[in-house]
């Protein structure tokens, strides 16, 4: 048999490289589109029947009053009432977006506005190319988890576990959006993507393939200590979800004085669980109304676990600890009980003090983790504490501070209280301040009470909105707050984008963090107005369809996102009632006082190209120009006969080219202005005017630059 030459080998590799794709392979050609409820039906508009579910579409050939002649994709032509139709857009079709304001709250003085947009996020990302290209410091994304529970839609229909292509659809869905999102990030930025076990592996490979330049770390976050188990199936009880942190350039994390894993446990948490082999934090439900307390080091249980845990393994570590059962104060530490065959007595002494023995969870004889002499010295300093009585073991939980922690205390790394006059036990906290924070390295597993998704998410949103369940499975606002904090502690003017906005948790968290440190972080949040799958069924049966007011008011944006954030910013629900007084922010302040921030709500509009080119859509384009200049100050909402240069804003618009000299002179006195927009159809005139404007001002041509930016299929340049 003839052997392969080097040339043959190279040829084979080339053929293989051209025909095989390594890594994550999925159907990228799967189509995707979205409905446009507010878009008018005109000749050439692609449409669907509002009453239908799925991806069947047609094109309007002629519109006469309330009758439209259609040609369906299969070639069939028919005439349909226009009000039975809804416009649709296949991704890749050119669109020209604008924003229509639907509400505003201004309580933050001259701070930049947070922006919330009701839109399909693919199109919103296209729109945000204009104001946010290369400007985003942090992306926090909580996409649908593709659990099979009809939690997301593809081509206007819910995807469930019966869909054989649901994994490919999800990957295609995610890839499109992540590719669009990448150019919005700064050189040194972080993208965070949360997920659960259903797609965690596929998402990790997808991120590796899309962003090979990123340093990617997977963090595990405990969100429900009670756990979730699949009904009827003997499987593990899931308590966690995951977050991929994708670091670009030199971006990193900042210490916040909490490693998010160790040291938070209160006395009750650590001691009530001593009966188990490991100490775990308790469920969060009883502590949700307390302000966030200072954290301290973890107290290790004294009962030995792991290697050599039995009495016979270390005979000198089986000794009694005598306590006053009423005060839980340690009275004395006894001597080892020898020989090892001698049984312990559980009887009280003459003062009714009780002995605590190292009895294991299976009621066998164990041993303590340190010797009697060492324990005596720890007791003397208040470094040993007694927990709850365990009837099964006829003993009490005991925990102590380890040698390393004691050494750190002696080195001044912790704050220590005086011994409690009743128990004789001290409290220990991590030191506050910059030096102490730098010593707390954040772990890749997070376990904090406040991250509980039930209390900090579902319950909180319900209480803010006044609805039993306006949104399913929101994140804990404190988990998101901690994430943003570790990424922006020293960048308090950061821009944070979330285009899987859901109930608005990210904006709530950013505003809460601003209140704590006086920051001016700006969030941009995109959420659609999807209606719950079960609710869709009875709405359709009732003759209510997408685009109808009764349908739209039941969507996420109007039922959850907007009312939740209005309540968080003002302290009042949409019905005028005050939110419950027990709800508190991370710093312990009352949520009913609201947040002193600015926020505006928008809906994405789909504009006609000719209308834009003739300058008749400036009001819809205006918010994008304002966002490009930082979302601060007064917005230029309508054109005038000369130019506009609002006080407090960072941009100006020259509407009439003949006034360019006055415009240039006004800009000379405004060092805070960063952008200028010139309305003209003449390239030569634009170049002449741009040359007259201050060098530090970035100049763009309206409306050609806008139109070119949104000619999606041609890959037009950005402003």
pTM for this entry: 0.74
Burial per residue of 362-381, b for 16 or more beta-carbon CB atoms within 10 angstroms, e otherwise: eeebbbbbbebeebeebbee
Q: How far apart are CA 80 and CA 644, in angstroms?
A: 46
Q: Extract the tokens encoding 252.
A: 């990193």
Q: Extract the tokens encoding 276.
A: 């188990």
Q: How many CB atoms lie within 10 A of CB 517?
A: 12
Helix (H) or strand (E) holding 14: helix 6-19
Answer whether 552's CB lies under 8 Å from 558's CB: yes
Q: How far apart are CA 25 and CA 577, in angstroms?
A: 52
Answer whether 288's CB lies under 8 Å from 459's CB: yes
Q: How far apart are CA 57 and CA 47, in angstroms?
A: 6
Q: How far apart are CA 350 and CA 471, in angstroms?
A: 61
At 372 the three-state DSSP class reads helix
Q: How far apart are CA 258 and CA 222, in angstroms?
A: 16
pLDDT digits (tens, 9 = 90+) for 273-287: 333 333 333 333 333
CA angle 596–454–202, rounded 5-degree value: 100
Q: Residue ranges of the alpha helices (H) in 281-380?
A: 372-380
Side-chain-facing half-sphere of 650: CA atoms under 13 Å:
18
Q: Residue ranges of the alpha helices (H) in 470-519?
A: 477-488, 505-517
Q: Extract the tokens encoding 202.
A: 């596929």
From residue 232, how far is each of 196, 227, 327 by CA, in Å? Answer: 20, 15, 45
At 207 the three-state DSSP class reads helix
* Per-residue pLDDT at 379: 96
* Per-residue pLDDT at 226: 85
At 572 the three-state DSSP class reads strand
Q: Do you find a cis peptide bond into 709, omega within 30 degrees of 0?
A: no
Q: Which domains does the chain have, with CATH numbers?
A: 33-90 (2.30.30.40), 96-152+174-259+445-601 (3.40.50.150), 321-429 (no CATH), 616-714 (no CATH)
Task: Supply φ then ψ for residue 467, to 5 degrees.
Answer: -130, 140
* Per-residue pLDDT at 113: 96
DSSP lists the bridge partners of residue 416 as 428
* Per-residue pLDDT at 267: 34
Answer whether 458's CB lies under 8 Å from 502's CB: no
Which of the 8 DSSP states describes residue 714?
G
Q: Do you find a cis peptide bond into 703, omega within 30 degrees of 0?
A: yes
At 124 the three-state DSSP class reads helix
Q: How far apart are CA 82 and CA 67, in angstroms?
A: 5
The segments of the chain whose pLDDT lies below 50 read 1-7, 13, 15-16, 19-20, 265-292, 434-438, 712-719
* Per-residue pLDDT at 277: 31
């Amino acid at each position: 048999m003839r052997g392969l030459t080097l040339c043959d080998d190279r040829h084979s590799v080339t053929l293989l490289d051209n025909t095989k794709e390594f890594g994550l392979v999925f159907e990228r050609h799967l189509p995707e589109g979205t409905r446009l409820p507010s878009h008018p039906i005109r000749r050439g508009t692609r449409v669907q029947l509002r009453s239908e579910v799925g991806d069947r579409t047609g094109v309007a050939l002629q519109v006469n009053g309330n009758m439209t002649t259609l040609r369906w994709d299969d070639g069939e032509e028919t005439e349909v009432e226009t009000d039975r139709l809804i416009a649709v857009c296949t991704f890749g079709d050119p669109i020209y977006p604008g924003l229509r304001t639907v509400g505003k709250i201004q309580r933050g003085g001259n701070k930049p506005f947070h922006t919330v947009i009701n839109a399909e996020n693919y199109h919103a990302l296209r729109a945000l190319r204009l104001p946010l290209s290369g400007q985003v410091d942090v992306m926090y994304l909580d996409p649908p988890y593709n659990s099979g529970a009809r939690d997301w839609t593809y081509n206007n229909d819910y995807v469930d576990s019966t869909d054989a292509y649901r994994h490919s659809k999800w990957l295609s869905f995610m890839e499109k959006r992540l590719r669009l999102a990448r150019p919005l990030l700064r050189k040194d930025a972080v993208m965070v993507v949360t997920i659960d076990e259903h797609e965690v592996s596929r998402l990790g490979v997808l991120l590796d393939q899309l962003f090979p330049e990123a340093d990617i770390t997977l963090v595990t976050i405990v969100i429900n200590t009670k756990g979730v188990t699949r009904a009827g199936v003997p499987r593990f009880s899931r308590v966690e979800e995951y977050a991929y942190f994708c670091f670009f350039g030199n971006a990193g994390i900042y210490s916040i004085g909490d490693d998010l894993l160790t040291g938070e446990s209160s006395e009750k948490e650590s001691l009530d669980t001593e009966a188990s082999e490991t100490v775990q934090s308790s469920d969060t439900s009883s502590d949700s109304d307390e302000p966030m307390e200072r954290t301290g080091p973890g107290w290790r249980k004294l009962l030995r676990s792991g290697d050599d845990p039995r009495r016979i393994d270390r005979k000198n570590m089986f000794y009694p600890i005598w306590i006053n059962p009423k005060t839980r104060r340690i009275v004395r530490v006894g001597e080892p009980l020898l020989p090892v065959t001698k049984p312990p007595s559980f009887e009280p002494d003459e003062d009714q003090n009780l002995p605590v023995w190292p009895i294991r969870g299976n009621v066998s004889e164990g041993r303590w983790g340190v010797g009697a002499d060492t324990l005596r010295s720890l007791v003397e300093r208040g470094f040993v504490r007694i927990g709850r009585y365990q009837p099964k073991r006829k003993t009490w939980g005991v925990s102590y501070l380890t040698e390393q922690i004691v050494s750190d205390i002696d080195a001044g790394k912790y704050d220590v209280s005086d011994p409690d006059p009743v128990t004789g036990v001290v409290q220990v906290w991590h030191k506050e301040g910059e030096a102490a924070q730098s010593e707390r390295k954040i772990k890749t597993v997070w376990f904090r009470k406040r991250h509980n998704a039930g209390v900090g998410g579902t319950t909180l949103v319900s209480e803010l909105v006044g609805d039993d369940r306006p949104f399913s499975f929101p994140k804990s606002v404190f988990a998101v707050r901690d994430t943003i904090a570790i990424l922006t502690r020293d960048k308090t003017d950061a821009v944070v984008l979330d285009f899987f906005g859901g109930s608005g948790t990210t904006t709530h968290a950013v505003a809460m963090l601003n209140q704590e440190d006086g920051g001016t972080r700006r969030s941009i949040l995109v959420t659609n107005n999807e209606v719950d799958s079960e609710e869709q069924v009875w709405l359709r049966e009732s003759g209510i369809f997408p685009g109808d007011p009764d349908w739209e008011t039941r969507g996420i944006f109007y039922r959850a996102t907007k009312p939740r954030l209005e309540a968080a910013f003002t302290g009042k629900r949409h019905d005028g009632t005050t939110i419950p007084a027990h709800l508190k922010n991370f710093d312990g302040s009352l949520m009913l006082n609201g947040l002193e921030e600015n926020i505006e709500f928008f809906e994405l509009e789909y504009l006609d190209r000719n209308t834009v080119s003739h300058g008749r859509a400036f009001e819809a384009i205006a918010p994008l120009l304002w966002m490009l200049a930082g979302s601060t100050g007064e917005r230029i909402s309508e054109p005038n006969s000369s130019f506009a240069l609002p006080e407090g804003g960072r941009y100006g618009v020259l509407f009439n080219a003949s006034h360019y000299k006055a415009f240039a002179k006004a800009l000379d006195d405004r060092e805070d202005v960063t952008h200028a927009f010139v309305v003209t159809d003449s390239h030569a005139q634009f170049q002449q005017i741009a040359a007259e404007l201050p060098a530090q001002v970035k100049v763009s041509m309206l409306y050609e630059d806008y139109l070119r930016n949104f000619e999606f299929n041609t890959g037009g340049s950005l402003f």
